[in-house]
Structure 1
Amino acid sequence: MRPFSKPVSLDRRTLLRGAIGAGLIGALPARATEPSRVVFKSDPFTLGVASGDPAPDGFVLWTRLTPEPLKARGGMSSQPVEVTIEIADDPAMTKIVRTTTETARLELAHSVHAEIDGLAPGRDYFYRFRAGDAESPIGRARTLPAPGDTPAQIRFASAGCQRWEDGYYTAWRAIADDKLDFVFHYGDYIYEYAHTEVTGRDKQPAPRTMPADFPACFTLTDYRRRYALYKTDADLQAAHASCPFLPSFDDHEIANNWAADSDPKHTPADAFLFRRAMALQAWYEHMPVRRAQLPRGPDVRAYRGFRYGSLIDVAVLDTRQYRSRQPCGDGFLAGCAEADEEGRTMLGAAQEQWLAERLKQSPATWQVLAQQVLFAQFDWRGFPFVKETEAPIVDVDTWNGATAGRARVTAMLEAAKIANPVVLTGDLHRALALELRRDWRDPASPCIGVEFLATSISSVGDGPATDKDRATMMRNNPHLKFFSDQRGYTRHVVTPAQWQADYRAVDSTATPGQPVRTAQTLVVEAGRPGLIPR
C-alpha cells in the first residue's frame, strides 16, 4: 500500500484563482477554426496600431480588428482572421525587411500581439498590418540599444491618467510630435465609471461624453468597449504609432483604489476577483505587451525590466496586485499609525526580491523605478480639497500608506550602491518634482535620488491651484521643488552626464488643439542627487 502523500493546504482565494483561470481557459474552443480571408465593409483598423515592450532585437506589434469598435464584438464575427505584418527600414515602407502572419481570434477580441525578433539593436523600424483587403496606418517602432552600448541620448515621456470626459488628449498629440524613444504609461488608461454629462468637483458640463449606454465597467464586454472608445481618439493613436510604449496599469483599469484582492466597497473576494480577471484580460487585449503578460485568471505578471544599454535601466513595477490594503480606511488622513506597521508592503515579497536582484545586477548610469503612486513622503496641507489641520495630511493610497515597504526599497538602492535613482510616478493629476531623503524623519537627511511625478493627460480637467495653495505645500514639503496643477506630461532627456525633465503643460483640455508649453525644466547631474531648476 502506498503511503498517503502530504496533504496540500489551499486557501479559499487560491482555489478561487484556479477556478477563474480554469473557467477562462475552458472558454476557448477545443479545436481552433482555421482562419480565412475576409472582406471588410469598413476599416477594421479603427483603433490604430502600436508597438511596445522592446528588446535589443525586436518589439511587440499590436492592433485589434474592430470595424465597429463600440459594438460588443467590435463588429467582428467569430471567424479567426489571418493578419499580415510587414516591417520596413523606411517610413515609406519601400524596404521590407520582414513579413510575418498572426491569427486574430474572437477569444482575445481579435487583437494581435506579434512578438518580433531578429532585428538590429538601437534603431528605428516601421510597420503596418494587412487583413483581407484592408491596410493599417504605418507605425514607428524602435529596438533597445545593444547590451553594453551607451547611447548619447535617450528621450522619452512619462504620461497617463486620461479620463475621457475630463478633456481632450492634446498632450498625446504633443508626445507624438516629440518623436521619442519610448513612452512609459504609468496607468489609468481608462476609467471604469459610468456615463456622465458633468465632470470635476464642481460638476461642470463635461468637454466630451461617452455614449449614454456605457455603464460602470464590470464585465469583459464593458471593459472592451471602454478601451475601444478611448482608442478611437486620433491624438492617442498618433502617440502609439510614434514610438514604443511600456504599459503599466494603476487602479482605474479595474476599480478606483483597488488593492490586491479587494476594492474600497469591500466587495466579496470571489466577486471582485472575477471582475479583476475581466479587466486584466481587456487590458492585455488592448496593450502592446508580450504573451508573458497574458493574465491567468485575475493574476498577471506586470512587473518587468528594460535596459537601454548602459545608460538607463527601467524597472516597471506593479503597486496594485500585491500591496497591503490601504490603512485606516483609505483617504487623506491626519495621523495613521497602521501605515507604519513593519509588515506593510506596496510590492509584495516576490516583487521586492525581484527588484533587489535587478538592482544588484544593474550596470546602468541611471536606475529608474517606473511605477504608479507617489513614493516620497508628502504633506497635503494647503491643497484645496484637504481640510486644514495642525498635523500633516498624508494620502495612504500612496507609499505613505506602507512606509516600511518604502524603507525596504530605499535600503535596496543603498545596498546595490545605486548612484542615480530616479522614480517615475503618476496618479495624482498634478505635476511634482521631489528630492528623496534617506530618512524622512530627519529634515537634514541627505538626498539619495529624485522623483518626477507626471500630471494627467486630461483627468480632473482644468483649474489650477492658487499661488497661496502652492506656497503652503512648498513650505510643508521642503523636498518639493516643483508643483503644477495643469494637465500635460513629462518629457525626459537623458545623457550619461545629466537627466533633464521638462514638465509640459496644456493650456486647456476643454477644447482640442490648445498650445503645449514647457512649464518648468529641472536637471539632475549624474553622481550628484538633487534637482536643479533651469
Structure 2
Amino acid sequence: MPSPPFDPFAFDRRTVLRGALGAGLIGIVPASAGAAAPVSFSTDPFTLGVASGAPAPDGFVLWTRLAPEPLKPRGGMSAQPVEVTVEIGDDPAMTRILRSERTTAYLELVHSVHVEIEGLAPGRDYFYRFRAGGVDSPIGRARTLPAPDATPQQLRFASAGCQRWEGGYYSAWRAIAEDQLDFVFHYGDYIYEYGFAATDKNDSPWPRTMPKDFATCYTLTDYRRRYALYKSDPDLKAAHAACPFLISFDDHEIVNNWASDSDPKQTPPEAFLFRRAMALQAWYEHMPVRRALRPRGPDVLAYRGFHFGTLADVAVLDTRQHRSRQPCGDGFLAGCAEADAADRTMLGAAQEQWLAAQLKQSDATWRVLAQQVLFAPFDWRGFPKIEDKGEPVFDVDTWNGATAARDRVIAMLDEAKASNAVVLSGDLHRALAFELHRDARNPNSPCVGVEFLSTSISSVGGAPPDDAAMATMHRNNPQLKFFSDQRGYTRHTVTPQQWLADFRAIDSIAVPGHPAQTIRSLVVEAGRPGLITR
C-alpha cells in the first residue's frame, strides 16, 4: 500500500494558519545549512539510541539523534551542523560493511537524522551503526520487507504502546527486544504530556518520576525534552535497536483526547493548532519515519501502507487528525445520539477513499488495519465509576463516537472480500480481543474479522471490581472473547494458514527486570473469521 501523495494545493478553512505554521516553524532548508565543521565529543552523543523503521523491500529508514546531555533544551549541542556517518553491515558484529553514507545533523531538527536507505535485498536482516565526532553508536538490526511477489511462511511482530514514564518500568520493551521480531507496530501514546507529579490520582507514589522542572507540554522545547526522557530508557532503546518500528501516534503525543482541531478544553483552533504543530514536529524529530512524514505546520500525512509480500497488507491509519470533533462533550456516555450521526468520521473522506482503494487492490491473505483506538462496540457497564442506567455506556473517544464511520469501514472490508480482516488497536490500557460482525450492533450477524487490542506498556488500567461486575461486562459484550488488565504487549505470529496472537503480560512494573509471560493465546484460521482459544 503506497503512501498517498501530499497535495500542497489542497485548501481548507484553516489553510492560512497552516501555511504560516509550516513556513515559520519548519523551514524547508535549515538556517544553519552549510558544511559541517569537525567536531569531537567528550561524552556519548548517542544517549537516545538508534532506531530503524518504515521498511520497504529494498531498504528502510535509520534514525538517531545527537544528544550528549539529552534533557537540556538543545541536548547539550551547539548550533553548528555535525556530519554523521551511517554504516550498513552484513552481520551483528559489523565485520563486513556493505554500505557507508553520510548525512548532516542540524540544530533546527534538534540534531536528529533520518537516513533513507535503498538498494538492498528484500526479506533479510541488516545491521547498522552511526558515527559522529569519532564516537560509534550502538549497533542496531533492521529488516527489509519481502519482495512484493514473495509468500513469507511466517511473520512475527509485536503491537504495543501507552508507555507513561511515571507508570512504571519498561520491562515489556526488554521482552520485545529479546523476541527478535520482524517489526513492532507502535500504536501511539509514545509520550504523555502531563507535568511532574510525585503521586498518582490516589496519592500513591509513582514507581518513577520525571524531573521536577518538567511542566505540562505546550512548547517545542517541552515536547523535545519529554521525548528525550522517554527515549533514554534502556529497555526502550533495546527494542528500537532490535527491529524496525511502524510508528503511529495517538492523543498523548499532543494532549489527551484531542480530535481534529480541538482539545477537550475547547481551546480555540488558532491556539490549539500551534500546540499541535510543535508536538508533531517533536514527534517527527524522534521517530524512525520517512521525510514524507515531516509535518507541514500542524499537519502530517500519517496514513500509509506496508506490503509483506502476499502474506499481509498493513494499513497504518490516523484516527486523530481527520476525525470529527468529540460528540456530546466527550467521555463515557449513554444515549449520545450525536455519536450515531451519518456524517461523523474517524478517518476523514480522503483517508476513507484511500483505504477503500487499498483494500480493493490487495490480494494478500491477511488485510490488517493498524490503528490507535477501540474499533468494536464495547459497553463499559461493570467498570468502577460507570453508572448503569439500563442502557449501554460507550467511550466516545473510540469508534463508538462515530458509529457510521465504523459501518463504512466494515462495508469496505465486505466489498473488498477481505475474508481475513484483522484490526490492531490500543489506547485502553487493557488487553482485549473481539470478533467483529457485519452489523456491529448485532453480535448474531456474520463475523467479518477480529480485533486485537493491546494493553499498555506502563500506563495504568483498571478492571471490573468483582466477579459480578466482570459477569456484567461479559454479558453486555458477547463479541468480547478475552480481557486482561495486566501490563504488557501482544505478540503476533502470522502464516498463510493462521494468525496466532499471544497476549504477553508483566507481573510487576514497579521495579525493572520482570519477565513477560503468555497469559492467553488466540488463533484465527485463514478463511474462517472468528477467534479460537489455544
Shift of 1:363: 1.5
> Match of 2:288, as an amino acid?
P
Shift of 1:28: 5.4
1:108 equivalent in alignment to 2:105: no
Alignment correspondent of 1:240: 240
Task: Supply the distance in 2 between the matched residues of 1:208 and 1:461 (Cα, whole angstroms).
Answer: 17
Shift of 1:464: 8.2
Q: Deviations over 1:461-492 (max 9, x none)?
A: 68885444332211110010000001000000
Task: Supply the distance in 2 between the matched residues of 1:237 and 1:18 (Cα, whole angstroms).
Answer: 35
**4+ residue segments displaced more than 6 Å:** 8-11, 461-464
Q: Deviations over 1:185-210 (max 9, x none)?
A: 000000000001112x4231000000
Alignment correspondent of 1:5: none
Shift of 1:90: 0.3
Kept after mapping to 2: 8 A contact 1:464/1:485: no
Residues 341 and 463 from structure 1, CA distance in 2 versus in 1: closer, same or farther, beyond 3 angstroms? closer
1:371 equivalent in alignment to 2:371: yes
Kept after mapping to 2: 8 A contact 1:166/1:461: no
Task: Supply the distance in 1 between the matched residues of 2:463 and 2:83 (Cα, whole angstroms).
Answer: 48
Task: Supply the distance in 1 between the matched residues of 2:30 and 2:65 (Cα, whole angstroms).
Answer: 20
Kept after mapping to 2: 8 A contact 1:464/1:486: no
Residues 39 and 30 from structure 1, CA distance in 2 versus in 1: closer, same or farther, beyond 3 angstroms? closer
Kept after mapping to 1: 8 A contact 2:175/2:515: no
Percent identity (aligned): 75
Kept after mapping to 2: 8 A contact 1:464/1:484: no
Task: Supply the distance in 1 between the matched residues of 2:137 and 2:501 (Cα, whole angstroms).
Answer: 34
Q: Deviations over 1:350-399 (max 9, x none)?
A: 00000001001111100000000000011010112322331111000000
Question: TM-score scaled by structure 2?
Answer: 0.96
Deviates more, 1:209-218 or 1:466-475: 466-475
Task: Supply the distance in 2 between the matched residues of 1:362 and 1:91 (Cα, whole angstroms).
Answer: 35
Kept after mapping to 1: 8 A contact 2:340/2:402: yes
Alignment correspondent of 1:3: none
Mapping for residues 54-453 of structure 1, pairs under 5 Å: 54-199=55-200, 201-453=201-453
Residues 400 and 142 from structure 1, CA distance in 2 versus in 1: closer, same or farther, beyond 3 angstroms? same
Task: Supply the distance in 2 between the matched residues of 1:9 and 1:108 (Cα, whole angstroms).
Answer: 26
Task: Supply the distance in 2 between the matched residues of 1:475 and 1:452 (Cα, whole angstroms).
Answer: 20
> Match of 2:147, as an amino acid?
A
Residues 488 and 385 from structure 1, CA distance in 2 versus in 1: closer, same or farther, beyond 3 angstroms? farther
Question: TM-score scaled by structure 1?
Answer: 0.96
Task: Supply the distance in 1 between the matched residues of 2:65 and 2:149 (Cα, whole angstroms).
Answer: 35
Task: Supply the distance in 2 between the matched residues of 1:371 and 1:503 (Cα, whole angstroms).
Answer: 18
1:42 equivalent in alignment to 2:29: no
Deviates more, 1:54-63 or 1:456-465: 456-465
Task: Supply the distance in 2 between the matched residues of 1:462 and 1:10 (Cα, whole angstroms).
Answer: 43
Kept after mapping to 2: 8 A contact 1:28/1:107: no
Task: Supply the distance in 2 between the matched residues of 1:494 and 1:10 (Cα, whole angstroms).
Answer: 41
Shift of 1:326: 1.1
Shift of 1:338: 0.5
Kept after mapping to 2: 8 A contact 1:461/1:509: no
Kept after mapping to 1: 8 A contact 2:129/2:136: yes
Residues 133 and 30 from structure 1, CA distance in 2 versus in 1: closer, same or farther, beyond 3 angstroms? closer
Paired residue secondary structure (1:204):
coil
- Which consecutive unaligned segments of at least 5 residues does structure 1 have? 1-7
Q: Deviations over 1:136-177 (max 9, x none)?
A: 000000000000111110000000000000100000000000
Q: Deviations over 1:232-253 (max 9, x none)?
A: 0000000000000000000000
Shift of 1:27: 8.9
Task: Supply the distance in 1 between the matched residues of 2:11 and 2:179 (Cα, whole angstroms).
Answer: 51
Kept after mapping to 1: 8 A contact 2:430/2:461: no
Q: Deviations over 1:212-244 (max 9, x none)?
A: 000000000000000000000000000000000
Count of matched residue pairs: 526
Alignment correspondent of 2:53: 52
Residues 10 and 170 from structure 1, CA distance in 2 versus in 1: closer, same or farther, beyond 3 angstroms? closer
Kept after mapping to 2: 8 A contact 1:465/1:485: no
Shift of 1:429: 0.2
Paired residue secondary structure (2:352):
helix
1:493 equivalent in alignment to 2:482: no
Task: Supply the distance in 2 between the matched residues of 1:194 and 1:346 (Cα, whole angstroms).
Answer: 29
Kept after mapping to 1: 8 A contact 2:492/2:499: yes
Kept after mapping to 1: 8 A contact 2:165/2:209: yes
Kept after mapping to 2: 8 A contact 1:462/1:487: no
Task: Supply the distance in 2 between the matched residues of 1:455 and 1:413 (Cα, whole angstroms).
Answer: 25
Alignment correspondent of 2:3: none
> Match of 1:91, as an amino acid?
P
Kept after mapping to 1: 8 A contact 2:428/2:461: no
> Match of 1:504, as an amino acid?
R
Alignment correspondent of 1:4: none
> Match of 1:122, as an amino acid?
G
Alignment correspondent of 2:20: 19
Mapping for residues 476-487 of structure 1, pairs under 5 Å: 476-487=476-487
Paired residue secondary structure (1:165):
coil
Paired residue secondary structure (1:198):
coil
Shift of 1:65: 0.2
> Match of 1:516, as an amino acid?
A
Kept after mapping to 2: 8 A contact 1:315/1:355: yes
Task: Supply the distance in 2 between the matched residues of 1:351 and 1:278 (Cα, whole angstroms).
Answer: 23
- Which consecutive unaligned segments of at least 5 residues does structure 2 have? 1-8
Task: Supply the distance in 2 between the matched residues of 1:10 and 1:446 (Cα, whole angstroms).
Answer: 41
Paired residue secondary structure (1:85):
strand
Q: Deviations over 1:113-136 (max 9, x none)?
A: 000000000000000000011110
Kept after mapping to 1: 8 A contact 2:84/2:104: yes
Paired residue secondary structure (1:501):
strand
Paired residue secondary structure (1:146):
coil
Task: Supply the distance in 2 between the matched residues of 1:183 and 1:472 (Cα, whole angstroms).
Answer: 34
Kept after mapping to 1: 8 A contact 2:149/2:310: yes
Q: Deviations over 1:292-343 (max 9, x none)?
A: 0000000000000001000010000000000001110100011110011000
Q: Deviations over 1:427-480 (max 9, x none)?
A: 000000000011123231011000000000000168885444332211110010
Task: Supply the distance in 2 between the matched residues of 1:299 and 1:81 (Cα, whole angstroms).
Answer: 28
Task: Supply the distance in 2 between the matched residues of 1:333 and 1:168 (Cα, whole angstroms).
Answer: 33
Residues 233 and 468 from structure 1, CA distance in 2 versus in 1: closer, same or farther, beyond 3 angstroms? farther
Task: Supply the distance in 2 between the matched residues of 1:9 and 1:56 (Cα, whole angstroms).
Answer: 31
Residues 9 and 189 from structure 1, CA distance in 2 versus in 1: closer, same or farther, beyond 3 angstroms? closer
Task: Supply the distance in 2 between the matched residues of 1:244 and 1:196 (Cα, whole angstroms).
Answer: 33
Kept after mapping to 1: 8 A contact 2:377/2:441: no
